[in-house]
């Protein structure tokens, strides 16, 4: 879709020697340390309460709002463009269909692993009720979007509500429960677009591509404020809840890392061994450079040139397959991201003690798979999508502020999986087309 850079990987402006992600990390540490100290010293006093409500939380919120503000244009442009790319895949016939089938299979398994781990480990459970109530009260002061989970609906009503009567109204109410309807609107437009003569819709595609680039730029600019924003948000959360919240956060990070490791070393290995009939050890060894690039750039798009070269030269994947599958995969096949999104949504649901029914969890699974289409392969590309997902299942999207500080680390790790997943799909397609990989 694009090669633009957004998120915490926005280029460090000249004159600043410390990379942005290091600044964000330092912001997180200082916010957390000051917050815990304030909690120990002034916890429960009116002064600290007022400081959080009137200074630290609003400062953090400015940063979050800059990202919220572009969620709707991002979803619209990214999903429509993503579906248009899928239209191309369909045109490519058998290889396209096989790519989609393997992508869908791998994404489903990854979200399944994530959701299962989050349910078993329950990393977000155990926030003391008083701290949670205080946190929600602070959030409610500024956020029209914080709300109770939507009242249960009948199956028919859920289905009807997916189709917006008025898409503009759905966009207005997106943060009050209509986000899914906006996604469906984008999906329908995207599908229709692929059936119209390409020349007739070219201007619209160009326009959407431009909108998409601009939105990514806004996110990249917002990320410049991230060090201060993350410090202010973490200060607010830890000052209210003390060390407890940091323990939950550590458990959350471990849960995501465990999920990523399971998917990387079990799912991919099994597929390589039994479908591709290729040694997983050899595969990972040959992919070392790709994994290192993905880890250090946190961007599937930025890793693409390396991925293409290694896939062809080291693994012997034919250029015709590598070019198509890997390029498509760098924006559509985001296994690591899907797994992380599933865990993040459930973590925050547990954190805020919001009970997600089986239906709610199925929504999380489906949306995590679907959001692969809308996720840009750039650092932090999935964050706006996570916010949209949170809104859809009735979790305060501001909750993302709690995990923002640790996001860069998880981004580096999930990008490794995103890229490895692309090459695994390319290897599966290669094998299913009757080619053998380089021994």
For residue 380, state whether it binds ligand ASP (rule: CB under 6 A).
Answer: yes
Query: Residue 117 or residue 338: which is nearer to ligand ASP going by CB?
Result: 338
Q: Is the dihedral of CA 417, 265, 363, 163 positive or negative?
A: positive
Which one among 293, 368, 418, 424 touches ligand ASP, defined by CB under 6 A?
Answer: 418
What is the Cβ-side half-sphere exposure of residue 18, based on CA atoms within 13 angstroms? 9
381 binds ligand ASP (CB under 6 A): yes
Stretch that binds ligand ASP, among 118-126, 128-136, 211-219, 379-387 (CB under 6 A): 379-387
Toward ligand ASP, which CB reaches closer, 5 or 98? 5
For ligand ASP, the closer CB: 70 or 245 = 70
Nearer residue to ligand ASP within complex by CB, 310 or 354: 310
CB neighbourhood size of 254 (10 A): 13
Question: Could you tell me the end-to-end alpha-carbon distance of the chain, in angstroms, rounded to an integer?
Answer: 33
For ligand ASP, the binding residues in 295-334 under the rule CB under 6 A are 298-300, 334
In the complex, least distance from residue 298 CB atom to ligand ASP, rounded to whole angstroms: 5
**Could you say whether residue 414 binds ligand ASP (CB under 6 A)?**
yes
Q: Which stretch binds ligand ASP (CB under 6 A): 36-44, 103-111, 145-153, 294-302?
A: 294-302
Our finding on whether 82 is near ligand ASP (CB under 6 A) is no
Residue 176 to residues 65, 172, 181, Cα–Cα distance (Å): 15, 9, 11
Among 178, 312, 398, 411, binds ligand ASP (CB under 6 A): 411
Please identify, using beta-carbon distances, which residue of 139 and 410 lies nearer to ligand ASP: 410
The span of 204-212, 246-254, 410-418, 428-436 binding ligand ASP (CB under 6 A) equals 410-418
Q: Which x/- pattern, by CB under 6 A, does the window 337-366 give for ligand ASP?
A: x-----------------------------
Q: Is 236 in the site for ligand ASP (CB under 6 A)?
A: no
Closest distance of CB 299 from ligand ASP, Å: 4
Is 394 among the residues that bind ligand ASP (CB under 6 A)?
no
Note the residues at the interface with ligand ASP (CB under 6 A).
298-300, 334, 337, 375, 377-382, 411, 414-415, 418
């Amino acid at each position: 879709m694009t090669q633009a850079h957004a998120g915490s990987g926005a280029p460090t402006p000249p004159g600043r020697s410390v990379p942005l992600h290091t600044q964000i990390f330092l912001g997180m540490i200082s916010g957390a340390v000051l917050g815990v100290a304030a909690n120990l010293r002034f916890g429960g006093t009116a002064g600290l309460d007022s400081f959080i409500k009137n200074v630290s939380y609003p400062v953090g919120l400015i940063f979050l709002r800059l990202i919220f503000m572009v969620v709707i244009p991002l979803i619209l442009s990214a999903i429509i463009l993503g579906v248009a790319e899928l239209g191309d895949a369909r045109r490519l016939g058998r290889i396209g269909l096989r790519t989609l089938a393997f992508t869908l299979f791998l994404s489903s398994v990854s979200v399944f692993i994530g959701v299962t781990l989050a349910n078993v480990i329950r990393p977000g459970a155990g926030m003391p009720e008083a701290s949670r109530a205080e946190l929600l009260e602070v959030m409610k002061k500024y956020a029209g979007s914080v709300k109770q989970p939507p009242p249960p609906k009948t199956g028919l009503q859920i289905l009807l509500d997916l189709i917006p009567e008025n898409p503009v109204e759905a966009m207005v109410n997106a943060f009050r429960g209509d986000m899914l309807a906006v996604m469906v609107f984008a999906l329908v437009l995207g599908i229709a677009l692929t059936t119209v003569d390409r020349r007739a819709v070219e201007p619209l595609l160009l326009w959407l591509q431009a909108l998409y680039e601009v939105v990514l730029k806004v996110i990249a600019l917002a990320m410049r404020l991230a060090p201060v924003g993350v410090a202010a948000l973490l200060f607010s959360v830890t000052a209210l809840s003390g060390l407890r919240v940091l323990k939950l956060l550590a458990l959350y990070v471990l849960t995501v890392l465990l999920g990523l490791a399971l998917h990387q070393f079990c799912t991919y290995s099994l597929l390589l061994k039994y479908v591709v009939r290729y040694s997983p050890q050899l595969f990972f060894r040959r992919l070392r450079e790709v994994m290192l690039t993905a880890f250090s750039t946190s961007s599937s798009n930025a890793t693409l040139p390396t991925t293409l070269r290694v896939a062809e030269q080291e693994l012997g994947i034919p250029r015709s397959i590598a070019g198509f599958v890997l390029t498509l995969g760098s924006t559509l096949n985001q296994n690591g991201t899907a797994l992380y999104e599933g865990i993040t949504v459930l973590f925050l649901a547990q954190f805020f003690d919001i009970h997600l029914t089986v239906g709610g969890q199925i929504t999380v699974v489906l949306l995590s798979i679907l959001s692969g289409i809308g996720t840009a392969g750039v650092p932090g590309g999935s964050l706006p999508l996570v916010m949209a997902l949170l809104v859809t299942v009735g979790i305060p999207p501001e909750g993302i502020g709690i995990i923002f500080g640790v996001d860069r680390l998880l981004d580096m790790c999930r990008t490794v999986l995103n890229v490895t997943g692309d090459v695994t799909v390319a290897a599966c397609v290669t094998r299913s087309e009757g080619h053998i990989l380089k021994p």
